[in-house]
């Protein structure tokens, strides 16, 4: 069950799942984040640890650059 934004408190630890396609296969990357602020428009999240694989995925998804 996904938490509703209005029920999530600042400082809460959450796990996010980023689906992505690699070599024709759909995979999911899991990582932990902390809520740093919430509003009616959404929430701000901070990664709780450095994750090179995740940052490479974000770079590739955002800019089309693969490292």
Place of tokens 């999530």: 8
Is the pLDDT at 67 greater than 70, yes or no? no
Burial category of 24 from C-beta neighbours within 10 Å (exposed 0-12, middle 13-18, buried 19 and up): exposed
pLDDT at residue 34, as a whole number: 96
Place of tokens 């296969």: 25
pLDDT at residue 15, as a whole number: 92
Of 45, 41, 43, 39, which is closest to residue 13 (Cα–Cα)?
A: 45
- pTM of the model as a whole: 0.67
Is the pLDDT at 64 greater than 70, yes or no? yes
Q: What does the pLDDT look like over 3-57, one tens digit per residue?
A: 566 678 899 999 988 888 777 888 888 999 999 998 888 889 999 999 888 888 8
pLDDT at residue 2, as a whole number: 62
How far, in Å, CA of 6 to CA of 38, rounded?
A: 8
């Amino acid at each position: 069950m996904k938490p509703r934004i209005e029920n999530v408190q600042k400082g809460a630890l959450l796990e996010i799942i980023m689906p992505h396609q690699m070599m024709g296969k759909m995979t999911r990357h899991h990582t932990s984040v902390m809520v740093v602020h919430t509003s009616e428009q959404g929430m701000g999240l901070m990664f709780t640890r450095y994750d090179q694989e995740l940052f490479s995925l974000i770079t590739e998804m955002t800019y089309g650059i693969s490292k």
